[in-house]
Structure formats: C-alpha cells, structure tokens
Amino acid sequence: MIPKGRYIAELGDGDKVKAVFMVAERRLLTARNGKPYAKLVLRDRTGDISGFIWEAAADQMAGIEPGDVVGVRGNAESYENRMQVRIEKIVRLSETEVDMADIIPTTKADREDLLARLDRLLDTIKDPSIKRLIDAVLAREGVKDAFCKAPAAKGVHHNYIGGLLEHTVNVLKAVDALYPIFMNYGLNRDFLIAGAFLHDLGKIYEYSYAKMIDITAPGRLLGHVYISSQIVDEEIAHMEGFPEELRLQLIHIILSHHGELEYGSPKVPMTREAMFLHMVDDLDAKLAGFASIIDATPENELFSAFSGIYNRYLYTKVYEAGAEEE
C-alpha cells in the first residue's frame, strides 16, 4: 500500500510534496510564450488544491483523466495568498495501491452515530400512517445504505460522502429543538420530522459519488425535488387507506422546500410546516456553505474571495475574548 503523504490541509508555503491525490479536474493549456502547460485540481479528503505542470506537460498528462488516483512529487507554494503545487512528476496509480478513504472527501462525523440519531428521531413520529410511510421508504432496496453515503450537494455545502446524512440529521435536530418554541403556531411535529427526512431523499439518485461527486442523468433531467416526491407517492400508492390530505401536505413540503421558484422550488411554501422546514433546511445549507468558504480562505485574509453563490464577500475574522488585550 502506497502511503498517502501530506494532506492538502497540511501543506504550507515551501513544503516538499510527495503524496497521493485524486485528479478532480485537468486541462492542457498554452502559455503566452507558446509552451504547453497543465493545470489540475488535486483532491484528498481534506480539500482541493490547484496543481501546475510546466515541464513536459503533455507527456506527463497522457492517460490521466478526472477521477484517476495519482502520485505527485513537487513543491507547495503560495500564489496570491492561495496554496498551489508546482508538480515535477505525476504518475497514475491503481486504486488497489492506495487507501481510498484518504482520498475521497468524507464527513468528519461518525456515520454510525448519525444513523443512530436519525433512527431515534424518526422513532418519535406518532402518526401511524406517517410511520408506515417512513418504514416503507427505508425498506426500499439500497435506500438506507445509499442515504448514509450520498453527498448533499456537488459543491458549496455537505459536498462529501455522508453529507446527505449529516445535513438531514442537522435539520432533524433543529426541528426537534425549535418545535417546542414554535408549537403554539399550530405546527404538526410529525409533518416536520417526516419532511426533514424525506425532502432530500432523491439525492441518493441525483448524484453519483463512487469516486467523484457528479450529477446523474436522472439528477439533471428530473432533480432531487421531483425524485423525492415520486418515491413518496410510489410508496403511498401501495398503502391501503393512506389519508389523501396527509399525502397532499407531505408532498407539498417536499415540493416547496427550496422556498422560491427561482431556487428550483416547483411550489412556494403554503403551509406552516412547509415554511418552517424550508427555513431550517436553508439555514443549515447556508451555514455549512459559509463555513466551507471561510475555512478555505487563508488565515491572513480578512475576507474571502467574492462568492458568486452568496453574492458577497465573507468576513473571516473570529473574535476571541481577551485576544487583543495587552
């Protein structure tokens, strides 16, 4: 087994690099002087870093494609306050030669603990029809295993193995914590718990994630909002006596959880539960997105690069009581 070497998050300016990565992107380009060079995005479980090959770029990149595992020798250097790798040598490796757990970005949380928390919160549902529905969905072949592995997105938030499970449990925990505060508005807790679990279920089919996260054909053509609602409708169709009003409201929660039509929501929230779930879901996604951008910004930078997703710069400085006192 080839040792991983330094992780991307550990690299500092001037460090020698002899490590294993996955190629997330690769391009052969031409410099102003007419000389070919290669630009890559290298990835391991701690993040991404740009890499450049300036010598014999075409020869070195021959046969190397996105998704390949490679061994890299070179030097880490800071350019415009961002780390990159000047690659001297790159070779394609077999996945059997390395520990892929070192390469593929994965949730830092314990997935067994997350799954246990998920099960405990789902067990608090009291409505027998909703319980039957949740049990039926979880009994579908491959659903539970895929739910534990799938990412919640390709980029920005929870975009790693186990991200969907982590995000879903965060939303469930938020519902559980906030419901006692807002229950006086007539919220149905069972609707909220079921919606928190079901709203992103279709992401297990929207994304492929064996090595790199990508969007599947069903993901591009249909999207997880439709797929989630379709799964629920299919299971309800097999359940004798399932209340039509319950079906209507659960499907609405799924269809409206993005909140606005321009954000991919077929419907805007029209029930109390749908609005509540949308806001909690959006909160976890945005906080995770902010954290990922701020964490990737060099420590000496007060602001991140401009975020096209959030249409703003993010302030990175953390206030620590007493840190500025003499």
pLDDT in tens, 169-191: 999 999 999 999 999 999 999 99
* Whether the predicted pLDDT of 211 surpasses 90: no
- Provide the pLDDT confidence category of residue 323 given band limits of 50, 70 and 90: low
Q: What percent of the chain has pLDDT over 90?
A: 77
Contacting residues for 140 by C-beta, under 8 A, at least 6 apart: 231, 235
Instruction: Give the pLDDT mean for 302-312.
Output: 90
pLDDT at 221 over 70: yes
Rounded mean pLDDT, 213-236: 96
With beta carbons less than 8 A apart as the criterion, state whether 231 and 202 touch.
Answer: yes
CA distance 146 to 162: 9
Q: Convert the pLDDT of each residue in 86-128 to its tens digit.
A: 999 999 999 899 988 888 888 989 999 999 999 999 999 999 9
For residues 194 and 188, is the Cβ–Cβ distance under 8 A?
no
Q: What pLDDT, in 10s, does the model give residues 42-62?
A: 999 888 899 999 999 999 999
Q: pTM for this structure? A: 0.85
Is residue 296 very low, low, confident or very high in pLDDT (cuts 50, 70, 90)? confident
Whether the CB-CB separation of 293 and 314 falls below 8 Å is answered with: yes
Nearest Cα residue to 258 out of 249, 248, 250, 269: 269
pLDDT at 324: 58
Q: Average pLDDT for residues 284-292, to the nearest whole number?
A: 93
The pLDDT score that the predictor gives to residue 326 is: 46
Nearest to 314 by CA among 287, 299, 293, 300: 293
Residue 320 confidence (pLDDT) above 80: yes
pLDDT band, very low/low/confident/very high, at 81 (cuts 50, 70, 90): confident
Mean pLDDT computed over 223-248: 97
The answer to whether residue 305 scores a pLDDT higher than 90 is no
Does residue 238 register a pLDDT over 60?
yes
Report, as an integer, the average pLDDT of 207-233.
Answer: 94
The CA–CA distances, whole Å, from 228 to 190, 219, 278 equal 18, 11, 15
Average pLDDT over residues 136-147: 96
CA distance 261 to 195: 19
Q: Cβ neighbours of residue 179 under 8 Å, at least 6 residues apart?
A: 187, 189, 192
Stretch 126-138: mean pLDDT: 98
Question: What distance in Å separates the CA atoms of residue 189 and residue 222, rounded to the nearest whole number?
Answer: 29
Share of the chain above pLDDT 70, in %: 99
Q: What integer pLDDT is reported at residue 251 of this predicted model?
A: 98
pLDDT tens digit sequence for 14-39 = 999 999 999 999 999 999 888 999 99
Domains and CATH numbers, the chain: 8-102 (2.40.50.140), 111-289 (1.10.3210)
Is residue 72's pLDDT more than 90?
yes
Q: What whole-number distance in Å separates Cα of residue 321 and Cα of residue 65?
A: 48
